[in-house]
């Protein structure tokens, strides 16, 4: 018996030394915190996103995966493409989902359509314009901005003046500025850009599905969104579409895009958008992320875009009415530019915004956020998107805010 133990121990030692060669063995032990079970709380995610994920989409996330190049996967990607075409209201063939969050789509749009030294015009009325400007600067573009304080938006005259002055190859605008709560008017901007030989790039991460966008009719050349707002998927995929005009620019570059991962030449083939008979491995797509994105787009297709827009509008108005009746002041003055998905509230005088958000989270499991970037310290933000967009949730938020106002005494001046 003793002999047997020695043999086994000898064998283990031999195996182990064989495996580990001359470098010695494992010296860093498994971390204790990782050996505790995963715990995650249940919350109403009523900040500016991500939103709660509906059970049907969670069920898609829990499916066993398949290969990223299996026929069934490519079909699911084809379904996603059609779902995005519907959600964006576009017939663009060059329509797909990025394997990353909204920032990846923003970089993809700029990396592919802009070359070093080219002029880019960015409208900055919150954080997203700032980000787009930074991305374009990093790749060596000549970036010019037009700037409004948070809550502001741009007239067509202001945009045209800047187009004339800077002669950009692309104009970046944020549709739903989630940091300020503004939804930007779109009518006429596409035509304006085209008459100045400029592409119109629109960020719709926070607005798509919650506020009307008609990509083709409105002359939008590049449009992208994220999976985790109105679409109610977990974050990690980002629908994007390019017009013929945008394709002409990006596929006639003098230089390769700086990123292989973001190269639309490769991505167009992976997504079956380039007309070639075979689809080549480019990167491994987030298979579960595509399952959930398909399910989210199916829910939107079943509900209908107009119904989704109307519901967000109604729920936002219900929320706004409740807020005003409690004495809150909405940050965006003009009703027609209030973003239906994310509402900004002026921080009530004498209150510390942090205490309000902490109170709502701690006592009501309700997420309310502060400002972001230029709107930091100025606003509270409430997002009710997709699955979360209903009056019962609006009432939960109102109740949490009502209680917060009562109990955050210390912060009163």
Question: Which residues sit in the known binding site?
Answer: 381
Least separation in angstroms between residue 228's CB and a second copy is 6
The reply on whether position 377 binds a second copy by CB under 8 A is no
Alpha-carbon distances, residue 270 vs 77, 238, 262, 316, 354 (angstroms):
10, 15, 12, 39, 45
97: its two tokens = 């989902």
Could you tell me which stretch among 95-103, 323-331, 390-398, 405-413 binds a second copy (CB under 8 A)?
95-103
Q: Which one among 147, 169, 192, 298 touches a second copy, defined by CB under 8 A?
A: 298
Please state, in angstroms and rounded to a whole number, the distance separating the CA atoms of residues 279 and 266.
9
Strand ranges across the sheet with 142-147: 94-98, 238-242, 222-224, 199-203, 170-174, 119-124, 142-147
33 binds a second copy (CB under 8 A): yes
The residue within the footprint of a second copy, chosen from 25, 278, 325, 333 (CB under 8 A), is 25
Comparing CB distances to a second copy, the nearer of 103 and 167 is: 103
Please pick, from the candidates 2, 23, 164, 413, the single residue that binds a second copy as defined by CB under 8 A: 23
Residues of this chain, 316-375, that bind a second copy according to CB under 8 A: 367, 372
CB of 373 to a second copy, least distance (A): 9
- Specify the long-range contacts of residues 218-222, CB closer than 8 Å, at least 24 apart: 218/186, 218/187, 218/189, 218/190, 219/189, 219/190, 219/191, 219/193, 219/194, 220/186, 220/190, 221/170, 221/190, 221/193, 221/245, 221/246, 222/109, 222/113, 222/170, 222/246
Site residues for a second copy, 144-173, by CB under 8 A, read none
* CA neighbor of 174 nearest in space, from 148, 204, 133: 204
Single out the residue of 5, 157, 302, 413 in contact with a second copy (rule: CB under 8 A).
302
**Binding status of residue 100 toward a second copy by CB under 8 A:** yes
Name which of residues 210 to 269 contact a second copy (CB under 8 A). Answer: 212, 214, 216-218, 226, 228, 234-236, 256-261
Tell me: does residue 9 bind a second copy (CB under 8 A).
no
Binding positions for substrate are 381
> Is residue 176 within the footprint of a second copy (CB under 8 A)?
no
Does 1 interact with a second copy (rule: CB under 8 A)? no
Give min distance, CB of 292 to a second copy, in A.
8
Number of neighbouring beta carbons within 10 Å of residue 256: 10
Figure out which of the listed residues 109, 120, 121, 135 binds a second copy, where binding follows CB under 8 A.
135
Given phi > 0 = left and psi -120 to 50 = alpha, else beta, which region is 67? beta
């Amino acid at each position: 018996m003793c002999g047997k133990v020695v043999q086994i121990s000898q064998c283990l030692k031999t195996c182990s030394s064989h495996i580990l060669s001359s470098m010695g063995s494992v010296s860093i032990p498994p971390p204790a915190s990782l050996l505790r079970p995963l715990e995650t709380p249940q919350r109403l995610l009523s900040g500016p996103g991500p939103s709660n994920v509906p059970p049907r989409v969670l069920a898609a996330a829990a499916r066993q995966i398949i290969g990223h190049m299996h026929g069934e996967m490519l079909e699911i990607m084809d379904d996603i493409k059609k779902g995005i075409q519907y959600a964006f209201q576009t017939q663009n063939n060059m329509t797909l989902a990025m394997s990353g969050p909204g920032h990846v789509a923003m970089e993809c749009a700029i990396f592919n359509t802009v070359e070093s030294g080219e002029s880019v015009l960015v409208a900055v009325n919150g954080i997203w314009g700032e980000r787009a400007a930074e991305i374009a600067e990093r790749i060596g573009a000549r970036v010019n901005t037009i700037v409004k304080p948070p809550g502001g938006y741009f007239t067509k005259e202001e945009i045209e003046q800047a187009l004339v002055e800077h002669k950009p190859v692309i104009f970046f605008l944020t549709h739903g500025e989630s940091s300020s709560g503004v939804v930007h008017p779109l009518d006429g901007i596409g035509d304006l850009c085209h008459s100045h030989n400029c592409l119109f790039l629109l960020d719709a991460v926070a607005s798509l599905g919650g506020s009307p966008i008609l990509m083709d009719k409105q002359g939008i050349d590049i449009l992208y969104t994220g999976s985790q707002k109105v679409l109610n998927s977990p974050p990690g995929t980002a629908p994007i579409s390019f017009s013929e005009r945008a394709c002409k620019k990006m596929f006639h570059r003098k230089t390769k895009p700086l990123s292989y991962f973001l190269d639309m030449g490769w991505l167009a083939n992976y997504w079956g958008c380039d007309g070639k008979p075979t689809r080549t491995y480019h990167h491994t797509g987030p298979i579960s992320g595509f399952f959930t994105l398909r399910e989210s787009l199916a829910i939107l297709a079943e509900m209908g875009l107009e119904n989704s827009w109307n519901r967000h509008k109604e729920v936002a108005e219900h929320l706004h009415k409740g807020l005003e009746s409690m004495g809150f002041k909405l940050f965006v003055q003009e009703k027609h530019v209030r973003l239906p998905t994310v509402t900004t509230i002026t921080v009530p005088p004498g209150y510390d915004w942090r205490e309000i958000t902490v109170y709502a989270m701690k006592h009501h499991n309700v997420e309310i956020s502060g400002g972001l970037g230029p709107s930091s310290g100025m606003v509270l933000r409430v997002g009710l998107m997709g699955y979360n967009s209903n009056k019962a949730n609006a009432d939960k938020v109102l109740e949490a805010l009502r209680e917060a106002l009562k109990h955050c005494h210390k912060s009163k001046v």
